[in-house]
Amino acid sequence: MEELFNPGRLEDLISYMESKGLVFSSKRFEPENRYAILGGKTSVRILEDARDGINGIILFCYKNKEDLHRINQKYRKEVFPNSESTRPYKISVTEDELDGVIELLLQNELNKAR
């Protein structure tokens, strides 16, 4: 994937994902609380220097596992626990995987722009 966004800027990542057809129900860009929630309730963050060492583009997958199962079926990502009960699964995706992950997220009708 050619670099279409600054990987350290969540705003750029969200704009890129929206340009591919994803829809977000919520976005927060405060310095210490930066994330966006997809229509299907999986959230997206960019983490650097996380306490648990899991950094980069992070998806906090919704408890129904719909997005998580699709992504893991293709990419076999390591799944980490997340303390939030609504989004108890955390996975890290690379920039190279992002377009494929977006395609998988678009298979969830709730994540699609209408």
pLDDT tens digits for range 3-62: 555 556 899 999 999 999 999 999 998 877 889 999 999 999 998 888 888 988 999 999
pLDDT at residue number 50 = 84
- Angstrom distance (rounded) from CA 76 to CA 37: 23
Distances (CA, A) of 19 to 15, 23, 66, 110, 113: 6, 9, 22, 16, 10
Joined together, the tokens standing for residue 24 give 């977000």
pLDDT at residue number 32 = 76
pTM of structure: 0.90
Question: If pLDDT is split at 50, 70 and 90, which confidence band does 2 have?
Answer: very low
pLDDT at residue number 61 = 98
Is the distance from CB of 1 to CB of 95 less than 8 angstroms?
yes
pLDDT at residue number 103 = 97
Sign, CA dihedral 111-84-26-7, equals: negative
Is the distance from CB of 22 to CB of 29 less than 8 angstroms?
no
- Tens digit of each residue's pLDDT (9 = 90 or more) over 48-107: 888 888 988 999 999 999 999 999 999 999 999 999 999 999 999 999 999 999 999 999
pLDDT at residue number 1 = 42
